[in-house]
Chain A
Amino acid sequence: MCTYLTQKIELDGAAKGATGWFTLSDGAVYVDHPYHATHEHTLNIDFTNPGEGPSARVAVELTEEAALALVEAIQKALAAAPPGLASGAHARAAS
């Protein structure tokens, strides 16, 4: 099935795509048919910057298990660092 549901988020950071590094502004997360992965459905994440055009995109297609493991790993990594160390507000204040 196509779920058609898309969770959109604002992102602050950078990503490396097919043409090199770019600043991230947006993200989309959805469970739907993948473009490349050989599974019927995957959890798909698009890291994008629409201001730099559609090619400013890093695409990831993960199984449900892999997506949940990624969420857990992100939370563990953040928990292991001092709170606020990677915060955008912190970075702006320090600069």
Chain B
Amino acid sequence: MNDAIWAGTISVAGHENAELEAYLARPLGEEPRGGVVVIHHMPGYDEASKEIVRKFAAHGYAAVCPNLYSREGAGVSPDDQAAAARAKGGVPDEQLVGDVAGAAAHLNGLDHANGKIGVIGFCSGGRQTFLAACSLQIDAAVDCYGAFVVNEPPAESGMKVTSLLSKAPGLSSPLLGLFGADDSFPGPEEVAVLAAELEKLGKDHEFHTYPDAGHAFFAVDRPSYRPAAAVDGWKKIFDFYGRHLSA
């Protein structure tokens, strides 16, 4: 088996054809493969996000993480881009959907693409994953502790985001949700409301809430890392994509 991968920075066309910086990783083998769009967390397009992209490639997928803060300027460091985007209340939902659509189209245009697209996001990217899966035709979505899918953000937050619950009827794919029991954004009650709504709508979903884990338990470079939850979470992600992204 050829497990070699290629990884590096590329450009993709995002919402309204904006040129976005993006990080792509793909296997060098010639087997047909699904694509995964990775949506980075609120702190931005960082090393950890790129490592996640490479992890998907090492598991046989073509994966790309668009820099959602590319519009803050080329040549600007990702943390400065993230601070500028935060001061503006985050990225608009419509723009996010266009950016994910562009990233997915790029993956589907690569050699050996099998036409299947997964989306995964962490933190604010978890909410954006749900948004993308309710707005675009995709094949498998993974929401890792995304807040404000159900609840509105606090009025004083200055964030542009709103609840997405009314979009749930449009969910186009199975949804895997991975949450920490000790998280407050989203708290277990918010996760329960989402699960009940998806149940009511007959939408295919699988939620897991890990004990002794809070927000960002996948983040290996932060004290929030919880190995037991993260190891099991990755197993569930690859099992889920294995079922839904094969040709």
Query: Are A5 and B154 in contact, with the CB atoms below 8 A?
Result: yes
Within A1-18, the residues touching B (CB, 8 Å) are 1-6, 8, 18
Q: How far does the alpha carbon of A8 sit from the alpha carbon of B214 in the complex, in Å?
A: 27
Question: What total of A-B pairs shows CB separation below 8 Å?
Answer: 79
* Interface size of B in residues (CB-CB distance below 8 Å): 35
Q: Which residues of chain A are near B76, meaning CB under 8 Å? A: 53-55
Q: Which residues of chain A are near B42, meaning CB under 8 Å? A: 2, 4, 32
B123 at the interface (CB under 8 A from A): yes
Contact of B79 among A1, A8, A40, A59 (CB under 8 A): A59
Q: How far does the alpha carbon of A4 sit from the alpha carbon of B159 in the complex, in Å?
A: 7
Contact of B222 among A33, A55, A57 (CB under 8 A): A33
A50 with B184, Cβ < 8 A, contacts A39-B223, A40-B222, A40-B223 known: no
Query: Are B223 and A4 in contact, with the CB atoms below 8 A?
Result: no
A55 with B124, Cβ < 8 A, contacts A4-B147, A8-B87 known: no
Contact of A28 among B43, B86, B153, B214 (CB under 8 A): B86
Query: Are B157 and A6 in contact, with the CB atoms below 8 A?
Result: yes
How far in angstroms is the closest Cβ of chain A from B90? 8
Give the interface SS of chain A, mostly helix, strand, loop or mixed: loop
Q: Which residues of chain B are near A50, meaning CB under 8 Å? A: 84, 87
With CB as the reference atom, state the residue of chain A lying closest to B224: A40
With CB as the reference atom, state the residue of chain B lying closest to A38: B223
Query: Are A2 and B215 in contact, with the CB atoms below 8 A?
Result: yes
With CB as the reference atom, state the residue of chain B lying closest to A44: B83
Within B41-93, the residues touching A (CB, 8 Å) are 42-44, 46, 72-73, 76-77, 79-84, 86-87
Q: How far does the alpha carbon of A13 sit from the alpha carbon of B183 in the complex, in Å?
A: 38
Q: Which residues of chain B are near A30, meaning CB under 8 Å? A: 86
How far in angstroms is the closest Cβ of chain B from A95? 30
Within B126-185, the residues touching A (CB, 8 Å) are 147-148, 153-154, 156-159, 183-185
How far in angstroms is the closest Cβ of chain B from A43? 14
A21 at the interface (CB under 8 A from B): no
B216 at the interface (CB under 8 A from A): yes
Q: How far does the alpha carbon of A35 sit from the alpha carbon of B78 in the complex, in Å?
A: 10
Query: Are B215 and A1 in contact, with the CB atoms below 8 A?
Result: yes
Q: How far does the alpha carbon of A56 sit from the alpha carbon of B156 in the complex, in Å?
A: 25
Q: How far does the alpha carbon of A48 sit from the alpha carbon of B158 in the complex, in Å?
A: 17
Query: Are B158 and A57 in contact, with the CB atoms below 8 A?
Result: no
Q: How far does the alpha carbon of A26 sit from the alpha carbon of B86 in the complex, in Å?
A: 13
Query: Are A33 and B43 in contact, with the CB atoms below 8 A?
Result: yes
B interface residues with partner A (beta carbon < 8 Å): 42-44, 46, 72-73, 76-77, 79-84, 86-87, 123-124, 147-148, 153-154, 156-159, 183-185, 214-216, 222-224
A interface residues with partner B (beta carbon < 8 Å): 1-6, 8, 18, 26, 28, 30, 32-33, 35-36, 38-40, 46, 48, 50, 53-55, 57, 59
Q: List 19 A-B contacts (CB under 8 A).
A: A1-B184, A1-B215, A2-B215, A2-B216, A4-B153, A4-B154, A5-B156, A28-B83, A30-B86, A33-B224, A35-B43, A39-B223, A40-B224, A48-B83, A50-B87, A54-B76, A55-B77, A59-B79, A59-B80
